[in-house]
Each structure stands twice: as structure tokens, then as C-alpha cells.
């Protein structure tokens, strides 16, 4: 859900930039601030999308292993032996 919100936020900032450029009343500093804002939002949306995909793959991989063979279970048993 956060990914969708980020994407919509990026679209909104891009529309703001376009409106400001069409009006011609936005200063160079204001346009630069909007560009920085949209760049940050694009990076955030990319990160959230990538994270979502990685989590999904990890869930699929984890589903293929019974809990008794879990790496976490194995490591916890090893730590308990020390």
C-alpha cells in the first residue's frame, strides 16, 4: 500500500512541476526544490517496490522448507550448544 501512495505522490509532484513551468511564475529555486522532492520520492518508491519483491521471494523460498529445516531454527540450535 505504501508503494502505491509513493507512486501517487510522485505523480502529484510531477504535475506540480509541469504546472509551475507552464505558468512561468516559478523561480529557478522553487523548480529545483520540486525536482529534488520528486527525485527523493522516486527513490523511495523504487526502494519500497524492490523491498516488496524481495520479501515475496523470501516468503516463497521459506515456504519450500519445513520449519524443522529452517536456517533460523538451525542457527538457534547451534547457538544453544555453545
* pTM reported for the whole predicted model: 0.58
Domain that holds residue 53: 2-81
Q: What angle do CA 38, 43, 45 make, to 5 degrees?
A: 90
Q: Is residue 76 over pLDDT 60? A: no
Task: Give the C-alpha separation, 16 to 41, whole Å.
Answer: 14
How many domains in the chain?
1
Q: For the segment 50-71, what is each residue's pLDDT rounded down to a tens digit?
A: 988 988 888 888 777 766 566 6
Task: Give the C-alpha separation, 71 to 81, whole Å.
Answer: 15
Amino acid at each position: 500500500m505504501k508503494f502505491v501512495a509513493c507512486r501517487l505522490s510522485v505523480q502529484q509532484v510531477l504535475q506540480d512541476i509541469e504546472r509551475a513551468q507552464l505558468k512561468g511564475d516559478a523561480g529557478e529555486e522553487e523548480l529545483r526544490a520540486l525536482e529534488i522532492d520528486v527525485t527523493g520520492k522516486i527513490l523511495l518508491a523504487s526502494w519500497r517496490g524492490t523491498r516488496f519483491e524481495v520479501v515475496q521471494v523470501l516468503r516463497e523460498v521459506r515456504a519450500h522448507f519445513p520449519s524443522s529445516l529452517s536456517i533460523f531454527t538451525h542457527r538457534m540450535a547451534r547457538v544453544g550448544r555453545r
